[in-house]
A and B are shown apart, each in its own frame.
Chain A
Amino acid sequence: MSTQSRGAEAISAAFQRAAEDRRTELITYLTLGYPTRDATVPLVRALDQGGSGIIELGVPFSDPVADGPLIQRASHAALQAGITPAGCLDLAAEIRAAGVRQPLILMGYYNPILAHGPAQYVQHCVDVGVDGLIVPDLPPEEASSLQSACDATGVALIYLIAPTSSPERQAIIAARTSGFLYVVSRLGTTGRGTLPLDTLRTQITALRPLARTPIAVGFGISTAQQARAVADTGADGVIVGSAVVERAAEGPDALERFTAELSAALAGPQ
């Protein structure tokens, strides 16, 4: 990475490099503090070494309503082990100190951000080298204070589009998101599942003229084969969460091998 752009710009640059390399960007998700606090930095390094172009870090919350059983359990275990939102920001700083250069995105629910104060939270994100935020229970209508803090600092606020989003909402969200547009592949929560590939292909084609950013697809992608299939629908990025968290419990070596498998599957054009 030659330039040291941060925030939404760093995320765009990552997608641009992927496009230049004719590959689909791999975005992996790991719950911070899982399975232990000390395990986190080596695990993120494994994602880095395995070829994940963007890394999403989960901030554990007591009531993760958008998440399926795997990430729920990981969040619960991390909280039991004493992880806090401030501890998550410290971990992000340690990840940077360990030499991880990829864009880092924090994925966390809104109440801890509200308790922290949205503007202060975003400033802390900037301070520790976090480039973007995904807040799954904060639709654009409720996001004004976090949005202005992100706009003021260049931190990306990444919004999601769901299969139930009306065409009008899809247009609004596509215009509002920064960094990338997160397309939820199917109904339900995060975790293993079947993917409606034909619907996804149609949706991505329809979103393309509306989106100012790359489009990444997440939820239910747990194997290299599924990742490739989603890449072939025209997505610019593929997000793998629960399967990564599951592999993280087996340690950094297993995680790096799995990440390398995923990124190999995403190399090469559609």
Chain B
Amino acid sequence: MTQPTDRAWRGLPDSRGYYGAYGGRYVPETLIGPLQDLEYAYRALRASATFQTDLAELLRDYVGRPTPLTEARRLSAACGGARIWLKREDLAHTGAHKINNALGQALIARAMGKRRIIAETGAGQHGVASATVAALLGMTCVVYMGTEDMARQAPNVARMRLLGAEVRPVDVGSCTLKDAINEALRDWAANVTDSHYLLGSALGPHPYPMIVRDMQSIIGREARAQSLEQMGRLPNALIACVGGGSNAIGLFHPFLDDPVQLIGVEAGGQGIETGLHAARLADPERGRPGVLQGVHTYVLQDPDGQIAATHSISAGLDYAAIGPEHANLRVLARAEYTWATDEAALEAFHALARTEGILPALESSHALAEAIRLAPLHPPEHILLVNLSGRGDKDLDTILAQEGRP
């Protein structure tokens, strides 16, 4: 819990892009110059009233922000105990929080004179968000996606193509998000002059974890103001799923100095003991500090430092590294991290569908699973705020394949 005297999470990253021991810029030399250019451009734009106004207007008029904060009364009653509230990122345009970051970075890219957007995608939500903002701003868009993810998120592949993006299948390695990021980095290294790499999570080399966090912090700022208005107080705990961790850091960040518990939920897959999971902080044997795709953080790896294969029912959480700011918040004990299995996430998906009439994304269902587990342990005065980071329509094929047709 909070140690009010020791707020070591403030003012990060440092000048080298570190959050404590985590972060940095571990990339081929070709990408160092472009990353420095991006950092300088972003620092200037962040201080620019025009940029902030343009972004705020688009978030309101195009994305539909602020997204609501909804009390899940029937779900809470079914659980018994604490009351569960939902931050409704599923209601943002394109159906997930990813649009917040995609829009912000596309505006940065435009200001830098870039005409082409490169993106990677796991669940497809970031790819859809990137394709959407590229269409909005008249830019070309190439999205790299692992072939395994393309199979399990087919509707999002179709959406990206309808939005005018080119989806390039990645069939090397594990054919998932990690491999898509490798290809996106390679494309960027070849096309830095005219292209911006629109990285989708709070991951990768500095300044991406900072930019993505800043763009997603609108979630937490809104949720904090809405809590004060609708609950008359702050919630006791915030719960969010953590793949790279952009929806979680976006929710947590504006609450860091508050006496509010922060809980990140990783993908427990088929259980930590099976090794088939993506819970970097829950597996002390394989989840160790390392370097993957530009950043020093907790990485699932074998004893030789080869990156481990991951598993999750949700493509968006199926990744071997966690965002560096989460690694630091965990070391500082300012946030705690747990996991939910595929099975628990599926149960949570159904529970929310039937009690509240909302189909959550399988990623968000991991956060819901933890709320459902915690609620009965607390009295009704206790408030759990869950980030409902995305809608579940994209996951219907996965769920139906898993469970058979209803």
Task: Please report A residues at the B interface, Cβ cutoff 8 Å.
Answer: 61-66, 68, 72-73, 76, 79, 84-86, 110-116, 136-139, 141-142, 159-166, 169, 173, 184, 187-189
Contact = CB atoms under 8 A, between A and B. Distances in A.
Contacts of B294: 137
Given A116-B305, A139-B25, A165-B32, A68 B186 contact: yes
Contacts of B30: 66, 162-164, 184, 187-188
A65 B192 contact: no
Contacts of A161: 29
12 contacts: A65-B293, A72-B172, A73-B172, A111-B306, A115-B305, A136-B29, A137-B26, A141-B24, A162-B28, A162-B29, A187-B190, A189-B190
Interface residues on B, range: 35 or more
Interface in B318-367: none
Given A63-B178, A76-B172, A137-B291, A165 B26 contact: no
Contact of A62 (B173, B296, B303): B173
A84 to B, nearest CB: 5
A76 B191 contact: no
Contact of A110 (B33, B34, B291, B301): B291
Q: Which of A61, A62, A112, A142 has the most CB of B within 10 A?
A: A62
B33 A79 contact: no
Contacts of B303: 115
Contacts of B172: 72-73, 76
Contacts of A166: 33, 36
Main secondary structure of the interface of B (DSSP, over half): mixed
B186 A76 contact: no
A169 B289 CA distance: 28
A63 B293 contact: yes
Interface in B150-178: 172-173, 178
A111 B305 contact: yes
Given A112-B305, A161-B29, A169-B33, A142 B24 contact: yes
Interface in B269-307: 288-294, 296, 299, 301, 303-307
Contact of B189 (A76, A139, A189): A189
Q: Which of A84, A111, A113, A169 has the most CB of B within 10 A?
A: A111
Contacts of A187: 30, 189-193
Given A162-B29, A164-B30, A164-B33, A84 B304 contact: yes
B185 interface: yes
B186 A65 contact: yes
B186 A189 contact: yes
Nearest to B183: A65
Q: Which of B29, B172, B289 has the most CB of A within 10 A?
A: B29
A194 to B, nearest CB: 12
Given A115-B303, A137-B291, A188-B186, A142 B26 contact: yes
Given A76-B173, A188-B186, A162 B26 contact: no
A111 B25 contact: no
B306 A112 contact: yes
Contacts of A137: 26-28, 291, 294
Nearest to A116: B305
A106 to B, nearest CB: 14
B305 A139 contact: no
Contacts of A110: 26, 291
A137 B204 CA distance: 12
A137 B307 CA distance: 15
Contacts of B179: 63
B43 interface: no
A190 to B, nearest CB: 10
Interface in B15-57: 16, 24-34, 36
Contacts of A173: 29
Contacts of B191: 187
A102 to B, nearest CB: 25
Contact of A164 (B32, B173, B306): B32
Nearest to A143: B26
The 8 nearest A-B residue pairs measured at CB: A115-B305, A188-B190, A164-B33, A112-B305, A162-B30, A162-B29, A66-B28, A111-B305
Given A114-B305, A139-B32, A187-B193, 6 more contacts: A63-B292, A65-B28, A113-B305, A114-B290, A164-B29, A184-B29
A179 to B, nearest CB: 16
B182 interface: yes
A161 to B, nearest CB: 6
A165 B29 contact: yes
B32 A169 contact: yes
Nearest to B189: A188
Interface string B56-89: 0000000000000000000000000000000000
Contacts of A160: 28-29
Contact of B182 (A65, A84, A114, A188): A65
B182 A63 contact: yes
A203 to B, nearest CB: 13
B290 A111 contact: yes
A63 B192 contact: no
Nearest to A68: B186
Interface string B182-214: 100110011111000000000000000000000
